[in-house]
Every structure is written in C-alpha cells, then in structure tokens.
Amino acid sequence: MPATTIPQLYDQCAQRLQHRVASYHKENNRWIATTWNQAKQDVDLLAHGLLALGVKAGDRVGVLSETRVEWIAADMAVICCGAVTVGIYPTSTPEQCAYILNHGEVEICLVEDVDQLKRLQKIQKRVPTLKKYILMSGPRGAGPRSKVINLDDVRARGDKARQRKPDALDKRKSAVQPDDLAMLVYTSGTTGPPKGVMLTHKNICKTAHCVSEVLPHTSNDLSVVFLPLAHSLQRVAGYAGLVTGGTAVFAERIDTIVDQMQEFKPTIQPAVPRIYEKIHAKILGRLAEAPPARKKIFQWAMDVGGQVAALKRKKQPIPRHMDVQHKLADKLVLNKLRDIFGGRIQYMVSGAAPIAIELLEFFDACGILILEGYGLTETTAPATINRVDNFRFGTVGLDLPICETKIAEDGEILIRGDNVFIGYYKDEDATKEAFTEDGWFKSGDIGEKDPQGFLKITDRKKEIIITAGGKNVSPANVENHVKAINPLISQCVVYGDKRKFLVALIAADPEEIVSVAKRLGVAETDPDKLTQNPKIVGEIQLAIDRANQGLAKYETIKYFRVLKKELSVEDDLLTPTLKLKRRNIYATYQQLLDDMYDKASINKRTRLGDMNIGID
C-alpha cells in the first residue's frame, strides 16, 4: 500500500533497501558511505532527541544551512516527530531570517555552523520565540541547559530518551495524518514580506509517487545533490527518490558539481538552468582555445548530432549514411561531452526557472536529454513535466496525473489537484486571493496549451523575477530598498529574469544631482550631462554597494547604468499613478540591458567605466 505520510514513506524505503547505500558525503577529505539502515538509525535517534527537547506535533523547527546530508537527517527527524520543517536559505539576510523565524514562531533552529549561529544571535532580541540552537557542525553544548547545542548532544539526549520511552517515536509517527502540515516554505512576494506556503504530507506523498510513475527510476539510480534544500525542487526530488530508493551524493560545493558527477557518474540528475548554462559556456570556452582543425571537427560532430537528435524527436528513421557519420561523431566528440556528466546519464531534469531551447537542443545533440518541467512552491514543485518518451522542447510538458491545468480567459495558468498547497500560513486574505471561486490555484503565469496538452509558458503575470539559478526575487522590494539608501537615486528598475545576476537602470533626481555635484566639486550644472560624470556615477555606485549589503546574495545588483533622464508618463514608461511600466521600460532599454550581460563588454572595461554610460 502506498505511503500516505512522509514517515511511512521513509520507513518503507529504509526497510526495503537496508544495506544499500543511501548517500555519500565528504568528511575530512574522505567520502563516507551511509546505508539506509544507518541513515534511519540516525534519524530515529535525532527524532528521539527532539522529543526530549520538547518538540510537539505541529511545532515549527527551523533549518538554516547549505545543502548537506545533515539537512536531510534533520528534516526527516523533525517530520517524524509530527513537527513542521521551516527551511531558510543560507544566503538570507538577518532581517529575512528574523521575519521567517518570527512569522513561523520557530522555537528550535538547526544551524549549519558557528558563522551562521553568530548571524542569528545578532537578531536574537527580535525573535523572542527562539529558545534553542542546534549546530550541525560545531562544539557541543556547555551543559543540559545550554541554549546552543550540537547534533551529538541531540543524539545523546535521544539515546537516553529512547531507553526511557522506547515507543515514544513510533507513537508520534503513527499519529501523523495525511492532511497534517509537513513543511512551511517561504517564498518571495511581489510586494511585502515573504509568504509561508503550507505543504501537507498528502501534498508531498502524492507528488512523490506521481513523479516516480512518470519519470522512470530504480533503486540503482544515483544523483548528485547540490540545489538548496530550502527550495521545494530539491526537497521534492529527494522525497520522490524515497519511492524507489537510490543513492544521493552530496556535492562538496556548487563549484565542484562537475567533479562529483565525473567521479560518481549519476544516472538521473535534476538541476536548474544556470548549471546547464555554466557547463555549456565552459564547453564553448574550451572550444575557443582549440586549434582550427579541432574546432571544425567539433562543429561537424555537433551538426551531425543535432540532425540525428532532430530526427529522433520527430520519430523519423535515421538514414544509413547519417547513422555511420553519427557513430564517428560520437566516438570523436559527443561521448566526451557526455563524460562531463559522468557518462551514465539516462535523463536530466530542469526546473525552477525557464531554460533556453538552444541549450536543450545542444545537449540533446550530445545525447543528453533534459526534460523541462513547470510548477511552483504552491504546487509542491512540479505540476507539469516532459516525459522521456513524450517531450517537446520549448514546452514544460504535460500535466502530472494528480493534477490538471487550464488556461483562464486572461491567459493565466490555473492548477488544481492533490499537489496544490492548502494555503499561506497565517494569511487568509492572501490564500483567498490565490484561488478562484471554484478552487483553481492562480499561478500568476501566462501560458498556452497545444492540442496534445503540452503547456508553454509565454509570459509572467506577476512581476517576480526568477533568476537562472532558480531564485525568486521581488524587484519592487529591491528597488525600494535601493531608493531608500540615497535620495540621489530617483528611480530604480531591476532586471534579471532567466539571467545569471541582476542589473538595474538608475535615474537620478534632477535637483539632487546638482546638489551632489556641487558637494563633490564638479563644476557642471546640467543634470543630463552630470549623469555621465564619473564622480556622480561613483556616488551611485557607493549607494548600490551599500544597498547590496542589506540584500541576499541573489538579490544584489551586479551592474547598473545611469539614464540621462527620469522615466516619465509622457514617454509611456510610467502609469498615471507613477508606477513602472516594466514591459515598456525593458523594450525601450533592451540594448542597454543586454549590454550589461555582454561578457566581452564587461571583461574589457573597468568596473567604473562599465557603469559610466547613460542612454535616452
């Protein structure tokens, strides 16, 4: 019988696979293999320890850490107690951490290390509910009443508690119901503070079973884990892996992903577009340095691979002469490209942000199929996905069997099913606004469906930016933060959807710029000309740098350009109420925006020189 709660799902998997390797992680420069039996024993011990610390069913327990094996153990221990995991991005600012911890009423927070602990301790007075810190890596507590303890302390308490009440954990697990809350996932709002998405055991288990049905995998499969576990994509991928089992390799760092892939040779691999972009760029970078003859061979092989892949996608026969060429191309080039990922990839999955069709076709030509899917935190990650035997590049695939999508009259994608969340934590108004009167979740995205049911995302109804790394950014929040730093900045327009980093267009206040120029000893008094003055640009740079200090890393502005004049209603760049018309602004300044992403342009200029450009 399929599991209906996460503790059931985990216990069934551990019981079935026992002595098989569940994960690998690096410790003291050595890879440590952990079997399913060992993993379960540790989770149970930690869970007993959490019970001894007073964790009750329904309590919210925070986890602030980079992706590591202890994150998974902590998450499973919390959930086995009947409590709720509240994941926090390690790149979150202290202010963001304080909001989430307060809003979630978190009393215990598992923290990666002493550095993260110090960040939380700085905001301790603003989070009165927080009573205990548990270090994943760090010294043990000073005593039983110490506010800071580590995982070994929790295990020790768990061992004593289990001896006193050996059936306490089993009782707590059996009391968990499918409709109970399992996790709170905080997402960025387009305006205002983040919202806590409530996902139940039913949401997660239904999604995990469904994904395992539409995407083939077995207990022999292996994946490298590196995406943030505070993000729903990696978490749900892990829960889906519990259905059939498999092995997870925890990457040392995000910049060693390829090394781990080549060492462990994954068979199924989820990732975000930014990873594929990086690998693609690295391949082309190496090619640029290759001798002319090698470049020609590479291009010929990719052309042949592309033609064969296109025929396969159309389910058309491959001519004999092309098959012969393809075998040679594979021997000379294509198999070497597959070896970058370890050489055993059956398929890869891309989610959390849109991926360029050019990347999908490039890797398909190499013999690496990337399946793009679509969903939101509110849909327990996936709502649609392409299948191995039924996919279309440029679309996000077909509906999952547990849900359905439809297009509203205004083009918005609506979603309904067992994977759809139950609401936003402590926010009835936002919950009501998120659904239609007949119960469909309003995604905020614009799309269209072809006659075969493949969904294509055509636009973003909400203004939220999703970076190439899958991070959600509210441009209005960033813009308001920047403008608050220095009155010299009259207007700020943040840009970066599907991009590696954020850039901004800055308009200076006509009066303030003259005042600043005088203070800086600049003789020029024409506001338009002053926007090009290095000292003025330098002043704005200082403001941007200061603003960035109060933003999460993925929210920071990497490059900016100063416009020659303010945005106006007359130019159709502002609404009558002076709100930004983003689409019009982007279209007007597209060349300027693109120039900031031009690698050659950035590499050739000094940082200040790069900033010192304005355009009408």
Higher pLDDT, 248 or 465: 248
In this prediction, residue 568 has a pLDDT band, given cuts at 50, 70 and 90, of confident
**Does 300 lie in the same domain as 238?**
no
pLDDT at 608: 37
Least confident of 18-32, 88-102, 389-403, 437-451: 88-102
Which one-letter amino acid corresponds to residue 57? A
**Does 597 lie in the same domain as 525?**
yes
293 burial (CB, 10 Å; 0-12 / 13-18 / 19+) is: exposed
Distance from C-alpha of 76 to C-alpha of 9, rounded to nearest angstrom: 11
**Does 493 lie in the same domain as 449?**
no
Evaluate whether residue 310 is within a structural domain: yes
Highest mean pLDDT among 46-50, 185-189, 590-594: 46-50
pLDDT in tens, 91-146: 888 888 999 999 999 999 999 999 999 999 999 899 999 999 999 998 887 677 78
> 143 CB contacts (<8 Å, ≥6 apart)?
none
Is 44 within 8 Å of 14 (Cβ atoms)? no
**Does 530 lie in the same domain as 455?**
no
**Does 312 lie in the same domain as 447?**
yes
Averaged confidence pLDDT in the chain? 90
User: Is 90 exceeded by the pLDDT of residue 225?
Assistant: yes
Evaluate whether residue 138 is within a structural domain: yes
**Does 574 lie in the same domain as 482?**
yes
In this prediction, residue 406 has a pLDDT band, given cuts at 50, 70 and 90, of very high
Evaluate whether residue 541 is within a structural domain: yes
pLDDT in tens, 457-477: 876 666 778 899 888 787 877
**Does 110 lie in the same domain as 162?**
yes
Q: How many domains does the chain have?
A: 3
Range of the domain at 346: 273-465
Evaluate whether residue 120 is within a structural domain: yes
pLDDT in tens, 334-359: 999 999 999 999 999 998 777 878 88
Evaluate whether residue 91 is within a structural domain: yes
Average the pLDDT over 316-329 and give the result.
Answer: 97
Distance from C-alpha of 465 to C-alpha of 442, rounded to nearest angstrom: 17
**Does 129 lie in the same domain as 84?**
yes
Evaluate whether residue 264 is within a structural domain: no
**Does 364 lie in the same domain as 236?**
no
Single out the residue in 465, 484, 507 at which a domain terminates: 465
**Does 447 lie in the same domain as 330?**
yes
489 sits in which H/E element:
strand 489-495
User: Is 60 exceeded by the pLDDT of residue 614?
Assistant: no
Single out the residue in 431, 465, 499 at which a domain terminates: 465
Q: Which domain CATH number covers 478?
A: 3.30.300.30
User: Is 80 exceeded by the pLDDT of residue 553?
Assistant: yes
Kindly give the interhelix angle for 168-175 and 36-52, rounded to the nearest 10 degrees: 90
**Does 121 lie in the same domain as 18?**
yes
Single out the residue in 443, 465, 487 at which a domain terminates: 465
**Does 234 lie in the same domain as 100?**
yes
Evaluate whether residue 192 is within a structural domain: no
Q: Which domain CATH number covers 92?
A: 3.40.50.12780
pLDDT at 141: 75
Q: Are strands 108-111 and 148-150 parallel, antiparallel or unpaired?
A: unpaired
Q: Which tokens go with 339? A: 């070896």
User: Is 60 exceeded by the pLDDT of residue 603?
Assistant: no
Evaluate whether residue 307 is within a structural domain: yes
Least confident of 268-272, 551-555, 604-608: 604-608
Least confident of 47-61, 62-76, 455-469, 583-597: 455-469
